[in-house]
């Protein structure tokens, strides 16, 4: 068997920034064990598998160690591949996933994800979290297996050096540390910044996490009173996201660029 593999940097307009994802468009689904093995071989935060299903596409995402229910950057990368390399012409792509129907649309030169808004609720600060990050947040909230951890300044978020072994003891899969960007300067200027840690999923720090913004956006929309915000994920690679809250949906727009095309032989 031979498959074409695309590597795409998502939430960036230039190579070597944003979040890299592998995308493989298939004629039919492979065995789950094989898809997991391929994702481990790709060794990126996410590998997306896409299959044409009537007027829609099925999509599944795998980290090097596990399948996940929702992934933003690899969905953006998959849409980019369908538009740029498979001649998809419609303005909207419908993806069926473990999280239900996901829509991707063209928005000028960018692609816009249409994802379900996460139900965010305040929780107590896990004691394991303080030990892992050696810093005290001002607020903590959760949505499913993601924990939102807000700090009093963007500088504090940028300076975090979590102990990954201790972070494994926190009872959440993803730890999203964030703050308003009042003391952060960039072009474009964001409204808030974040960093995302997920050692339980085999990813110590994710460069840009689209799905995390399904809880970040409603949280900061409520905090700022704005329905449109700019976000910056302040990882080493970094990435920019244009966000809009529309009812129970979060619209997440960004750029994408292909950096590699190759053949996988099995």
- Spatial neighbors of 169 by CB under 8 A, at least 6 apart, are 128, 131, 132
Interval 188-223: pLDDT, tens: 999 999 999 999 988 899 999 999 999 999 999 999
Give residue 158's pLDDT: 97
**261 to each of 6, 59, 111, how far by Cα in Å?**
5, 19, 20
Q: For residue 108, give the DSSP letter.
A: T
Give residue 171's pLDDT: 93
Pairing of strands 146-150, 174-180: parallel
% of the chain at pLDDT higher than 70: 100
Give residue 151's pLDDT: 98
For the ranges 26-30, 116-120, 198-202, the lowest mean pLDDT is seen at: 198-202
| Cβ contact 160:136 at 8 Å | no
Nearest to 82 by CA among 129, 25, 9: 25
- Indicate the pLDDT class of residue 123, thresholds 50, 70 and 90: very high
- Indicate the pLDDT class of residue 33, thresholds 50, 70 and 90: very high
Give residue 1's pLDDT: 87
Give residue 79's pLDDT: 98
**pTM for the structure as a whole:** 0.92
Calpha distance 218→222 (Å, rounded): 6
Give residue 32's pLDDT: 97
Q: Which secondary-structure segment (H or E) carries 165?
A: helix 164-167
The 8 Å CB, 24+ separation contacts for 242-249 are 242/110, 242/112, 243/213, 243/216, 243/217, 244/217, 245/117, 245/217, 245/218, 245/221, 247/117, 248/116, 248/117, 249/114, 249/115, 249/116, 249/117
**If you average pLDDT over every residue of the chain, what do you get?**
96
- Indicate the pLDDT class of residue 96, thresholds 50, 70 and 90: very high
On the question of pLDDT at 42 being above 90, the answer is yes
- Spatial neighbors of 31 by CB under 8 A, at least 6 apart, are none
Give residue 202's pLDDT: 84
Q: Judge residue 222's burial from the number of C-beta atoms within 10 Å of its C-beta, 0-12 exposed, 13-18 middle, 19 or more buried.
A: exposed
Give residue 255's pLDDT: 97
DSSP letters, 183-204, are T---SSPPSEEEEEEEGGGTEE
Give residue 201's pLDDT: 85
On the question of pLDDT at 60 being above 90, the answer is yes
Residue range 99-105: average pLDDT?
94
Give residue 245's pLDDT: 98
- CB environment 225-236: b (16+ within 10 A), e (fewer): eeeebebbbbbe
Residue range 6-29: average pLDDT?
96
Residues that are catalytic: 46
Cβ count within 10 A of residue 144:
15
Strand partners, 21: 8, 46
241/202: higher pLDDT: 241
């Amino acid at each position: 068997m031979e498959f074409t593999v695309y590597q795409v940097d998502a939430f960036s307009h230039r190579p070597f920034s944003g979040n890299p994802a592998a995308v493989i468009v298939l004629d039919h689904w492979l065995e789950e064990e094989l898809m997991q093995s391929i994702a481990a071989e790709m060794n990126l935060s996410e590998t997306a598998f896409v299959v044409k299903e009537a007027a829609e596409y099925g999509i599944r995402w795998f980290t090097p160690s596990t399948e996940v229910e929702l992934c933003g950057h690899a969905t953006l990368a998959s849409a980019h591949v369908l538009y740029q390399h498979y001649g998809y012409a419609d303005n909207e792509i419908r993806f069926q996933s473990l999280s239900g129907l996901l829509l991707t649309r063209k928005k000028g030169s960018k692609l816009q994800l249409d994802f379900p808004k996460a139900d965010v609720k305040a929780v107590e600060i896990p004691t394991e979290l303080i030990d892992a990050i050696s810093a005290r947040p001002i607020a903590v909230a959760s949505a499913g297996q993601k924990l939102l951890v807000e700090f009093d300044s963007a500088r504090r978020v940028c300076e975090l050096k979590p102990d990954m072994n201790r972070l494994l003891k926190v009872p959440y899969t993803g730890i999203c540390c964030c703050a308003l960007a009042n003391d952060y300067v960039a072009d474009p200027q964001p409204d808030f910044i974040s960093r995302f840690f997920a050692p339980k999923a085999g990813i110590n720090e994710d460069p840009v996490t689209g799905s995390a913004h399904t809880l970040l956006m409603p949280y900061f929309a409520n905090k700022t009173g704005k329905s449109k915000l700019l976000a910056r994920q302040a990882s080493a690679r970094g990435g920019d996201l244009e966000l809009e809250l529309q009812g129970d949906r979060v619209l997440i727009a960004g750029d994408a660029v292909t950096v590699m095309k190759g053949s996988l032989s099995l």
